[in-house]
Amino acid sequence: MVSEAEVQAFVRSDFVAFAEGSFYELNPETQFFHNWHIDVIAEALEECRAGKLCRLVINLPPRSLKSHMTSISFCAWLLGQNPGAQIICASYAQGLSDKLAGDCLSLMRTRWYQKLFPACRLARPGQAVHDFSTTQKGFRLATYAIWWIKASIQEYILRSKSLVKMGTTANQKRLFFNLHRAKSKIAAVSDGDLHPNQVALIAQGLRVTEQDVIDMNRRLSGDVSLNFQASEDGASTALQDRLVDDTPPQEQILVESQEAANGRKALDEALKLLNERERRIFVARRLAEEPSKLDELANKFGVSRERVRQIEARAFEKVRKAVKHRVAASATPEMIAAY
C-alpha cells in the first residue's frame, strides 16, 4: 500500500502530477482530462527550470490549460522547489494578470500545497494579489503588457503608413496620432497647408514646434506617385514630367566635353616645348595633386629656391602662350577669353 508520504514525494518530483493536483484544488467540481500535450508542456517547462531552455513559445487553442500549466502551476511549483525563486509573469491585460496571480496565490495557501512544500511560506498573510513573496525572499510579480502591445501596434502603424519615415522623434509621433484631432477642434479640415494662426494654435496645444506641425501635416496628406496623371488645360501629363531637371542640357555637356578635350590636347602639345628640367618643375609645381615645395625641388636639381621659382614662371609663360595660340585656332571668342 502506498503511503501518503510517498504520494507527496512523487507529486513534488513530477510536475504533471502536481499540475493535475493543483487543477483539482482550484477547480474541485471540474474533471481534469489528461492529454499528450500536457506531458509535452511539462517536459519543456522542466527544461526551462533546469536552464536548458531559455525561450519557449506555447502555441495552443484556448482552453488547453496553457495558463494553468505556466502562470499558475509552474510558478507555484518553482517556488515550492526553491522558495527563493524570483518570477515575473506578464499577461496582455490587467484583468487576466490579476486572475492568474490570484489563482497562484490561492493554490499556495491551500493545505495540500503547504503539506507538499512545508519550507515555502508566504511572507505576509494579506499580501497583494499581483505581488506576493515568500519568507526566503522569493516572489511572483504579476504585470500586464497592454501598453507594450499598444506601443508596438502604434510603431507598426508609423512604419506602414508611408514609404517615407513619418515619426522618428517624440514630437513627430505625438503629431502623427493627435494632429487630426487637433485640426478638428479648430475646424481646420481642408486639405493643403494650414494657416499660420492654425499652425501656432496646434503647436501650442501639442507642445511641439510650428515647423513640426507643418511637416507632419504635409506628410499625412499621403504619398503621391510620380506617375499620377494630372490634368492641365485639357491635357493629362504625369507629375514626373513636370519635375525640374537640374542637370545641364546635352548640348552644354557636349561643348564642355569638347573644350576639356581640346584643352588637354593643347596642354600636352605645350609641354613638348619645354626642356626636361622646365617640364619636371612645371609638372611638380602646377599639375601635381600635391604641389612640391620650392626647397624640395631646389635640393633635387641642385639650384636655389629663387632659381626654381624663375624656371617655373618661365615655363608657365611658355605653356600659357602655346595653349592660347592653339585654342585660338579652333575656339570661339568666349573660349579664348577663358584661357
pLDDT tens by residue, 216-251? 777 776 656 666 666 656 566 776 676 777 788 888
Q: Pull the grid cell for residue 32.
A: 481534469
Question: Whole-angstrom Cα distance, residue 240 to residue 227?
Answer: 6
Q: Check whether residue 103 and residue 209 sit in a common domain.
A: no
Write the DSSP assignment of 297-312 as a string of letters. Answer: HHHHHTS-HHHHHHHH
Domain match, 136 and 189 both: no
In a domain, 329, yes or no: yes
pLDDT value of position 115: 92
Assign residue 279 the CATH number of its domain: 1.10.10.10
Note whether 330 and 339 are within 8 A (CB): no
For residues 256 and 221, state if they share a domain.
no
> Do residues 210 and 254 share a domain?
no
**Is residue 153, in this structure, part of any structural domain at all?**
no
- Tell me whether residue 292 is in a domain: yes
- My answer on whether 173 and 131 are in the same domain is no
Contacts of 134 (CB under 8 A, 6+ apart): 79, 83, 84, 120, 121, 122, 123
Q: What is the pLDDT of residue 170?
A: 77
Q: Is residue 155 part of a domain?
A: no
Q: Among the three residues 211, 241, 271, which one is the final residue of a domain in this structure? A: 241
| Cross-strand pairs, 229 | 238
- Looking at the structure, do residues 13 and 135 belong to the same domain, yes or no? yes
pLDDT on residue 318 = 86
How confident is the model at residue 234, as a pLDDT?
Answer: 56
Would residue 102 count as lying in a domain? yes
What cell numbers appear for 133 in the block?
A: 513573496
Q: What is the DSSP string of 104-139?
A: HHHHHHSHHHHHH-TT--BS-TT-BTTEEEBTTS-E
User: Is there a domain that residue 133 lies in?
Assistant: yes
Final residue before a domain boundary, out of 119, 144, 169: 144
Residues of the chain with pLDDT under 70: 125-130, 147-148, 151, 154-155, 157-168, 189-191, 221-236, 239-240, 242, 327, 329-339
In a domain, 154, yes or no: no
Give, to the nearest 10 degrees, the angle between helix 210-219 and helix 196-206.
Answer: 110
CA 80 to chain centre: 42
Q: How far apart are CA 105 and CA 130, in angstroms?
A: 9
Residue 10 shares a structural domain with residue 140? yes
| Residue 62 belongs to a domain | yes
Gap between the Cα atoms of 1 and 12, Å rounded: 19
Query: 132 lies in which domain range?
Result: 4-144
Residue 127 shares a structural domain with residue 66: yes
pTM: 0.47
Task: Tell me, yes or no, whether 138 and 165 share the same domain.
Answer: no
To which H or E segment does residue 141 belong? strand 139-144
Position 154 scores a pLDDT of 65
